[in-house]
Amino acid sequence: MKLALVGDIGGTNARFSLWRDEQLEAVQVLPTADFEGPEQAIVAYLHTQGLQPGSIGSVCLACAGPVSGNLFRFTNNHWRIDRTAFCEALQIDGLLMINDFSAMALGMTRIAEHERVQVCPGEPQTDRPALVIGAGTGLGVGTLLEQADGRWLVLPGEGGHVDLPIGSPREAELWQILYRQLGHVRAEDVLSGNGLLVLYRAICELDGQPLQHATPAAITTAGLAGEPVAAEVLEQFSCWLGRAAGNNVLTLGARGGVYIVGGVVPRFAERFLASGFAKSFRDKGCMSHYLDGIPVWLVTAEYPGLTGAGVALQQAAERSPDAIRENP
């Protein structure tokens, strides 16, 4: 496989890296606002590496949203991609585009031991699916399955938009407040970066406490410092993530393990490890035993989405070079 480039593109930043010998090389983060489109950003990135268009054979980009057809518009920035024009501008053989959470899930296949922290002990059943769930801008949920030929299959879904599960009287009271505010309460409404703020406001309303924080970052900082209301937000967030993850394990039969990814939980990792996540994860009544022995890891790797884009590109190239050129 020729030298390739991989990218993981979000609303604010685009991460790029060379993919050489199945490894990331020379990762760089560029603000999307600084460039007219991804072609210009990639040319700038290549320039910093002493490379020109035509130096790379193929590109894989992980993009938020459903990927299909020749034209792709990013939902959270001003960029767009015309597949034909993109390949011509960069003089590449093919462009592979995949959903960003699919890339995140594939990244779990290359996680080193030091890049994950055990939350719940157990042994993964390698012939069963693994669950990848992550709170960030939204709540991503994906299924990872190893195939008979050793390649990996990702089944993307919209599990972050399921109803928020209720497991206690207090959660029911909080849900009533959320329902009045939102109408329909999805798991993502709470289990996301902005969800911390939504949850904080609901707890303050329920307990008659004044609002003192206006951002998720401020709530996290206050919670880690021991402020009672903010600390309860982190605890309740952890418990609700446990319930959501457990529900998905039951639905998918995901005895291959659970990977917790995304940018939210690592910001309060120690608090999370001591939280009620594990109890809530297993709290499934007569099916609680099903969750026994399923390992759960908190992923701390810096660029799993980029790595997953590399894995996707590698698998496509091994299957057939045309799989990249003909990616719909």
Residues annotated within a binding site for ATP: 7-12
Of the CA atoms within 13 Å of residue 286, those in its CB half-sphere come to 0
Pairwise CA distance, residues 189 & 167, whole Å: 17
First-to-last C-alpha distance (Å) of the chain: 21
Residue with tokens 């960030």: 136
- Least Cα distance to 304 among 79, 11, 12, 15 occurs for 15
Cβ neighbors of 320 (< 8 A, separation 6 or more) are: none
Give whole-number Cα distances, 245 to 96, 280, 282, in Å: 30, 9, 9
| Residue list for the binding site | 7-12
Torsions phi, psi for 8 (to 5 deg): -130, 105
H or E element at residue 258: strand 258-261
Cβ neighbors of 280 (< 8 A, separation 6 or more) are: 167, 238, 239, 240, 241, 242, 243, 246
